Each structure stands twice: as C-alpha cells, then as structure tokens.
Amino acid sequence: DPEVHPQNEDYWGHVNPIGPRACYDEGKRVAETMCYAYMKQEGVEVRVARIFNTFGPRMHMNDGRVVSNFILQALQGEPLTVYGPGTQTRAFQYVSDLVNGLVALMNSNVSSPVNLGNPEEHTILEFAQLIKKLVGDGSEIQFLSEAQDDPQKRKPDIRKAKLLLGWEPVVPLEEGLNKAIHYFRKELEYQANNQYIPKPKPARMKKGRTRHN
C-alpha cells in the first residue's frame, strides 16, 4: 500500500513481507535485485519495466484480476464483486500501449527501472460502473469484505518514460475495454458451444494476489 502517490521509480515501496500478497510483491522486488546483481557481476545489459495494471484481448478469463472478473461477471449477468468500499484506485493501460513501451525500453540505453502504466486513475467502483455501462447488462454491484493488504491507491508516475523513451499510453480506456469485452463475449460463445462455462474466481486472493491487483 504505497506511502507515495503517484508512485515514481525512486520510491522503494511499502510491502508486508509475510502477508497474503508477499509472494507476489516480494517476487517482483527480488527479481529486480537479482537482475542488477548479475549486471554488476557479469556486465550484462539489463532493462527493468515496472508494469502497472494491464488488460486486453486474450487475457485469461479466470485469472482473478479485476478487469477479467468484472467483464466476465457482467457478461454472465452476475453481480460485480467489489472488495471493500470500492474507493481503492487503480490505473489501467491497454496491452498495445504496454507492448510499445516495452519495445521502446528494450531499444533504449536506460538501465534503471522505468514505470510503464497509464496515469489515468479510477476507483474500483467507477470501473465497475463503467463495465456495467459498456456491457449493457443489468448486473448489480455487490460489496464484499475488504481483502487484506489490498493497496488503496495505485497510479504510476511516467515522467521518466516520457522523457527518456518518448512513450506514453494513447489508447482510451473505453476503447480498450470494448475490445476486451468483445473478446470475452466471443470466448464465452465458443466455450458455451463446447459445454464449458468459466466462472469468476470467488476467493479474495489467488497465489498471494488480492482481487484488485
């Protein structure tokens, strides 16, 4: 749960090392540590992208993330499950923007970490309401108990990516969501024809990750 907002690359983080998200949070942190240790020891080139919430077609419908959960629930006429009051914020980027950012980073000489994300911040409740509108379904929004260690704010500071990579997201949120919804709808139709209907993950976390991450 960050103490600095928005989060820039110089911020060291605020992480519970033994909480339910610890494997997810600390796994990313130790990956950076090992990359830079190997860079110093062996002189290899390293690029580190700090990726913020990303969505788009071909994401796994049952991955337990907020985008896939909300879309799947809305398309199936089920309540959209919001953990806590829904005031938690996230920043969602479309997958093509992320790919362009990764390519720009790989082709650069920037060896320090770079945030790749969309600085347009939304509450989880706003996001649920937007999904309802785009799907055009009458699903209700259901509030459940708050997940442990669920970050309350998330917004990347992308000034470094703009300055050093000439990169920033360009795909509007609604445009990206419409593409993801279209993909999910087609997948549901295909799987219904094959007698398999996926269900959103009901648990509060998956492999140490809370639902809203």
**CATH number, domain with residue 108:** 3.40.50.720
| pLDDT tens-place string over residues 10-32 | 888 788 889 888 898 899 999 99
Is 122 contained in some domain?
yes
Quote the pLDDT of residue 121: 92
- The parts of the chain modelled with pLDDT lower than 70 are 1, 149, 195-199, 201-213
Specify whether 196 is catalytic.
no
Is 8 contained in some domain?
no
Alpha-carbon gap, residue 54 to 97, rounded angstroms: 9
Catalytic residue among 11, 24, 36, 183: 24
| pLDDT tens-place string over residues 139-160 | 899 998 887 767 788 889 999 9
The residues that bridge with 88 in the sheet, in sequence order, are none
Is 163 contained in some domain?
yes
Range list of H helices, 9-168:
22-42, 66-75, 95-106, 124-135, 159-165
pTM of this structure? 0.83
Quote the pLDDT of residue 149: 62
Is 113 contained in some domain?
yes
3-state helix, strand, coil in the chain (%, to 5): 40, 15, 45
Enclosing domain of residue 117: 21-194
Split into its structural domains, the chain has a count of 1
Is 1 contained in some domain?
no
Is 209 contained in some domain?
no
Is 185 contained in some domain?
yes
Is 12 contained in some domain?
no
Alpha-carbon gap, residue 67 to 138, rounded angstroms: 18
